[in-house]
Structure 1
Amino acid sequence: MRSLRHFDLNLLLVFETLMHERHVTRAAETLHLSQPALSHALKRLRESLDDPLLVRTENGMQPTPRALALLPVVQQALAMLRQGLAPPAMFSPANSTRRFTLATTDYFEEVMYPLFLSQLLAYAPGISFSIELITPDVLSEGLEQRQIDMVVGLDSQSALPSGVIQTPWMDEELVCLVATHNGRVGDALDIAQFAQEPHVELADISGLRPSNIDSCLVQHGLTRRVISKNLNYIAAARVVALTEAIMTLPRQMAERFVAMLPVRLVEPPKELPALKMTLIQHGLYANDPANAWLHKVLVEFANDFRR
């Protein structure tokens, strides 16, 4: 036999079928080949293995000892190939005990996550989640090393580490929050007054996100003064409640603070962009059945949440 490098591995399937059928015409039909094509393949097999393999007898085509010895080896090799090339098993949320780790924003964790989890547990009772902060390490290493399954809710980025996949997920309207005692600010702000007011904002611990608000102001020749950068929305909202500062945040988060703190909603300048949230995962695992399922249910949840 010539070296494996010169052997046509497609002939192994022909060999297995011939050994099963022991009839050229039936083997050709099984493989959806013409009889001449199958006969040519048998000729190549004989030449490659230097053995007739199948010999015509009074009892029909019979395998040679070489063919009989080779058959279990070929069957085992083909079985392993079929198993390896088969699509991965479907993810079964109803039977899974998988723990997913999500790196998320305050907004997702506070406004969406409780409802998201409660809906999933109705049909996937064994699934659980861990929630982590979005940090530079999460985006550069956590996703790649599968310490984090998905980053949920981060504002759209212009640049991300190589290998990660970012997809649009959900847009949310932004509003401003001010203390109820703030007499300088009315029910709405134009962009000039917006820039003049002191601001509270969230610190960007991801290390990647330029401020969309500051970028918008620069486009209009304006800047603002940020008096406090906080790690979470509730702390920032408490600062607003006790100062003359304003804060810009998603409407549904702001509405929660109106019910909790002495603050009120103010319509922001029309020039401010909406919050465009994304889903981020690593390309290494995007086709993993569990990750694909998680991505799918998050997209479906966002679509229902917007209605």
Structure 2
Amino acid sequence: MTIISIMYDAHDPKLDLNLLLAFDALWREGSVTRAADGLGLTQSAMSHALRRLRQFYGDPLFVKAGPGMRPTPKAERLAPSVLSVVGTVRGELLSQAGFDPATARRSFAFCMTDMGELVFLPPIMERLRALAPRCRIRTLQVATEAVPAVLESGEADLALGSMHLVPEGLYRQELFRHPFVTLVSTRNGEVGDRMTLEQIVRMGHVTVTLSDRSEPYDRALEVELERRGIRRDVVLSTPHFLVVPLILDRFPDLVATVPRELGTVFARYDAVRVLPPPVDLPAFSLRQHWHPRVHHDEANVWLRRTIKAAFEGYPE
């Protein structure tokens, strides 16, 4: 279904644009309750909107699946056009009326990794709960190459993270930079307060390589060791940062190199120690990325400024 046919259907007395907003909210939230909250409706009003959508399209559209709602194949076919229409309404029409964070009811969606959730979410949630108490947050994990399409469709407002392979056509802004650190198990009795080059070469390494990337996050360490004619022993490569301290705790003879803020979070649970790497490594840059379609959207502009402010105090 095209945007034109969607807008043609919108003239039918049985369908209005408010129902497209309801579809959009259900698609994003996967829950009648959360969708209603995001639109400022009661749950019964949201259920009524879903019934009207089902009647109009002759399809359930969203069906119960565990604790949430899953789209049917027909809903999946409708989604790109509906999200495009709603994105246009929000980005080009509603934004002209201004954005008041204190009273706004909406859900902000972010593309980020599990590392991003550990580093980004706490300060972002603190700011939004204080400045925009009625807004909600949702996170998505998508492949880097899929980020532009997700941002363009409006399914996500921002992409937060390192994104070394930045897709073309996106705006970006650096939030902060931090160095790499070396992690060792607290049960490792051989490594003292500083790790030597000989020790890190002798130990097995745990690296994180996201499924859509061809190189690990700690590629800088690999490059520096190769420059010295040293090839490290990668025992485990995983797409998940959260497993790293668990593996190091279980196997104290292994080592990992991660961004400092992530290492600081891991160290709070007493399974690993944070040490400076035995070689100099370049700082790690974390950024926010957004699509040109929302570059002037007042809500997105406010969101970007708020997130930038949340990380102004982070050490270099």
Both proteins in one fold, TM over 0.5: yes
Q: Is the 8 A contact 1:134 1:205 kept in 2?
A: no
User: 1:212 pairs with 200, 220, 227, which one?
Assistant: 220
Match of 1:275 in 2: 284
Deviations 1:74-132 (A, max 9, x none): xxxxxxxxxx99x9343221121121110113333123412321222122111111011
For 2:155 and 2:135, the matched residues in 1 are separated by 17
Is 1:200 the counterpart of 2:173? The answer is: no
How far residue 171 of structure 1 moved from its aligned partner, in angstroms, is 0.9
For 1:213 and 1:301, the matched residues in 2 are separated by 29
Q: Is the 8 A contact 1:136 1:205 kept in 2?
A: no
How far residue 200 of structure 1 moved from its aligned partner, in angstroms, is 0.8
For 1:140 and 1:215, the matched residues in 2 are separated by 29
Is 1:290 the counterpart of 2:299? The answer is: yes
Q: Is the 8 A contact 1:104 1:133 kept in 2?
A: yes
User: 1:111 pairs with 109, 119, 123, which one?
Assistant: 119
Deviations 1:128-174 (A, max 9, x none): 1101114235324212222221111225x2x4322112222211232
For 1:276 and 1:102, the matched residues in 2 are separated by 18
Match of 2:311 in 1: 302
Structure 1: stretches of 5+ with no match in the other structure: 1-83
Match of 2:234 in 1: 226
Letter in 2 for 1:300: A
Q: Is the 8 A contact 1:89 1:289 kept in 2?
A: no
For 2:228 and 2:158, the matched residues in 1 are separated by 35
Match of 1:161 in 2: 167
SS at match of 2:152: coil
TM-score (norm: length of structure 1): 0.64
After superposition, the Cα gap between the structure-2 partners of 1:111 and 1:162, relative to the gap in structure 1 and judged at 3 Å, is closer
Match of 1:245 in 2: 254
Moved more, 229-238 or 250-259: 250-259
For 1:148 and 1:245, the matched residues in 2 are separated by 37
Match of 2:31 in 1: none
For 1:154 and 1:181, the matched residues in 2 are separated by 31
Q: Is the 8 A contact 2:195 2:277 kept in 1?
A: yes
Is 1:176 the counterpart of 2:182? The answer is: yes
Q: Percent identity?
A: 25
TM-score (norm: length of structure 2): 0.62
Letter in 2 for 1:285: V
For 2:296 and 2:215, the matched residues in 1 are separated by 27
For 1:98 and 1:231, the matched residues in 2 are separated by 31
Match of 2:139 in 1: 131
User: 1:144 pairs with 143, 152, 155, which one?
Assistant: 152
C-alpha RMSD of the superposition: 2.7
SS at match of 1:143: helix
For 2:305 and 2:133, the matched residues in 1 are separated by 18
User: 2:243 pairs with 235, 244, 260, which one?
Assistant: 235
SS at match of 2:303: helix
For 2:292 and 2:201, the matched residues in 1 are separated by 40
How far residue 241 of structure 1 moved from its aligned partner, in angstroms, is 0.9
For 1:209 and 1:291, the matched residues in 2 are separated by 32
Is 1:92 the counterpart of 2:133? The answer is: no
SS at match of 1:260: coil
SS at match of 2:268: helix
How far residue 191 of structure 1 moved from its aligned partner, in angstroms, is 4.3
Structure 2: stretches of 5+ with no match in the other structure: 1-91
Q: Is the 8 A contact 1:163 1:284 kept in 2?
A: no
Q: How many residues in Structure 1 have an aligned counterpart in Structure 2?
A: 221
Match of 1:254 in 2: 263
